[in-house]
Amino acid sequence: MSDNNLFDVIVIGSGMTGGWAAKEFTEKGFKTLVLERGRNVEHLKDYPTTNMQPWEFEHRGEIPNKIKEANPIASKTYVFREDAAHFVVKDNEHPYVQEKPFDWIRGYQVGGKSLLWARQTQRWSEFDFEGPKRDGFAVDWPIRYADLAPWYSHVEKFVGISGNKDGLANLPDGEFLPALDMSCIENHFKGVIEKNYKDRNVIYARCAHLTKPNQIHLDQGRGQCQNRNLCQRGCPFGGYFCSNSSTLPWAQKTNNLTLRPHSVVHSIIYDDKKEKVTGVRVIDAITKKTYDYFAKVVFLNAAALNSNLILLNSTSNRFPNGLGNDHGVLGKYVAFHNYRARASATFEGLLDSTTDGRSMTSAYLPRFRNLHKQETDFLRGYALTFGGGRGNKTNTDGFGTELKDQLANKELGPWYVGAQMMGETIPKETNYLKLDPNQKDEWGMPLLSIHIDYDDNDDKMVKDFTEQITEMFTKAGYTNIKTSDSKQAPGLDIHEMGGCRMGHDPKTSMLNKWNQLHTCNNVFVTDGSSMTSTSTQNPSLTYMALTARAVNYAVEQLKKGEI
């Protein structure tokens, strides 16, 4: 052991939560090593497409069929286009076993998927944290909204969240920058819904964009969002939040951060004699050499499925089935968001208006089903996004000059509108992850085997969404209403959660109320794998708040000598 491999804290992962762990620990004076399995990506320097015009792309943004055919999973995600595919893991770069169809979308680089996320940021409510206990599924969350509320505020102030004070119990307000305007079609839908339904509200969807930066954002070197809507390329203005433009540079300024890319974490090292974790074993992604790094505390933030993989692969005499896995809970009760259902329609009104420019977000209808009582034949509920615009009507009849003139004189068509469901799924023991006993990746680690699927509750929720959105669209005067169920495999929501869930009882959960392993108090897990249930809200804000809260607790325990 030398000074080169000895730190106060090791953080595994540099994305949404890893960046926050690094920021919080380095700010407090702790020498922190951040391990990232992918390549280095530096803000500004490594955004090769950020200022390219459409005609500068060889294929005008499209991915050639040859590449799509080689990447049947990665090519399903909306960011796998010519401008951002370099930030998405290709299918052959880290294979996995699908016991059930699952589209695992990953970003292996410094910053992880924080470069690619959809930037929607909603707080969870008391309805979400009390849900499992009230509704009799999963296990009880060991925390409630009041425990996390100050940490939501802490994160929101630093990240920069655009939103309105909506005063909704099912979607608590936060620390907001000014909201952008909703479009006229969104305001029309809002008016119709709130006139016809007492329990439904259409709001501006809160998003992590600097609409009016505060000093804390300028101190990070970030600037105002330019509404380019090219965020997945990496933003040269730092207008939206990502680790690369915000938390990691902030940590770097403290001189307490060591960042090591190309570091595939093999396992977390448990010392049977000392009865605690002492460090992390790493395989260099390029040389395949193995290195050990040591620290007092380890924060696991590799994203939900990879964090489960690392824990399952971290075996010892004390933990032969994976670190902290005394009762076989690890890797089980994985859940996600149900994105299968959609709806579209047209509207012949508001013909004196259209939209101009680019919108960074949409309208949002928070969950309204089963909030105060069980009122349907399925558990929990769903939120939905809503948006619309006007396309051009083009007459393509004729030839030569006549055709050219007609193509040049475009007329606006009717409004098109669309909505998408984001449903809560129920964590089940039958939705699990395990290590494949025979197949290994190029670093000699077992492949992750995934057994995750929908159930009858999800199907009933899709049916209810279809009925309710049809009713709402009809009341709004929309026509040509079409609904669909994509039947897409789990995974494309990119909101996988669980496998290392929080709870009160070590026999039924992996983590306590501080995101600390029940059976190993110097290991914390604060990414999506720690979630006990999924709610209907986008989860990243909650991950970040949990991380900041856990770091604060870990620092207190370190100072007391309890860790």
What would the pLDDT profile of 141-155 be if each residue is shown by its tens digit?
999 999 999 999 999
The first and second tokens of residue 385, run together, are 């996004």
Percent of the chain with pLDDT strictly greater than 70? 99
Task: Give yes or no for residue 38 having a pLDDT over 80.
Answer: yes
The answer to whether 347 and 184 are in contact (CB under 8 A) is no
**Per-residue model confidence as pLDDT tens digits over 494-537:** 999 999 999 999 999 999 999 999 999 999 999 999 999 999 99
- According to the model, what pLDDT value does residue 402 have? 81
Q: Which CATH number fits domain 3-163+206-336+425-453+490-560: 3.50.50.60, 3.40.50.300, 3.30.565.10, 1.10.579.10?
A: 3.50.50.60
pLDDT band of residue 354 (cuts 50, 70, 90) is: confident
The answer to whether 364 and 123 are in contact (CB under 8 A) is no
- According to the model, what pLDDT value does residue 2 have? 62
Which secondary structure element, helix H or strand E, spans residue 250, and what is its range? helix 247-252
Rounded distance, CA 192 to CA 196, Å?
6
**Per-residue model confidence as pLDDT tens digits over 242-260:** 999 999 999 999 999 999 9
Rounded distance, CA 57 to CA 49, Å?
9
Half-sphere exposure in the Cβ direction for 416 (13 Å, CA): 11
Per DSSP, the residues of 297-336 read EEEE-S-HHHHHHHHHH---SS-TTSTT-TTS-TTEEEE-
**Per-residue model confidence as pLDDT tens digits over 449-491:** 999 999 999 999 999 999 999 999 999 999 999 999 999 999 9
Rounded distance, CA 18 to CA 21, Å?
5
Amino acid in position 129: F
* Averaged pLDDT, 363-375: 97
The first and second tokens of residue 357, run together, are 């420019």
64 secondary structure, DSSP code: P
Letter string b/e over residues 302-339, b meaning 16 or more CB atoms within 10 A of that residue's CB:
bbbbbbbbbbbbbbeeebeebbbbbeebbbbbbbbbbb
* Averaged pLDDT, 98-122: 97
- According to the model, what pLDDT value does residue 549 have? 98
**Per-residue model confidence as pLDDT tens digits over 277-301:** 999 999 999 999 999 999 999 999 9
- According to the model, what pLDDT value does residue 382 have? 98
Q: Which residues contact 360 (CB under 8 A, 6 or more apart)?
A: 119, 162, 180, 207, 209, 225, 227, 229, 231, 240
Task: Give yes or no for residue 1 having a pLDDT over 60.
Answer: no
* Averaged pLDDT, 346-353: 93
**93, burial (CB in 10 Å: exposed 0-12, middle 13-18, buried 19+):** middle
Angle between helices 184-196 and 456-475 (to 10 degrees): 100
The answer to whether 114 and 43 are in contact (CB under 8 A) is no
pLDDT band of residue 360 (cuts 50, 70, 90) is: confident
Compute φ and ψ for 39, nearest 5 degrees.
-75, 170
Question: How is the chain split into domains, by residue range?
Answer: 3-163+206-336+425-453+490-560
Rounded distance, CA 48 to CA 51, Å?
8
- According to the model, what pLDDT value does residue 399 have? 84
The owner of tokens 């709806």 is: 343
Half-sphere exposure in the Cβ direction for 400 (13 Å, CA): 1
**Per-residue model confidence as pLDDT tens digits over 75-105:** 999 999 999 999 999 999 999 999 999 999 9
pLDDT band of residue 403 (cuts 50, 70, 90) is: confident
- According to the model, what pLDDT value does residue 356 have? 77
Residue 236 burial (CB count, 10 A): 16
In 135-233, the DSSP E strands lie at: 161-162, 176-177, 203-204
Chain centre to alpha carbon of residue 216 = 24
Task: Give yes or no for residue 263 having a pLDDT over 60.
Answer: yes
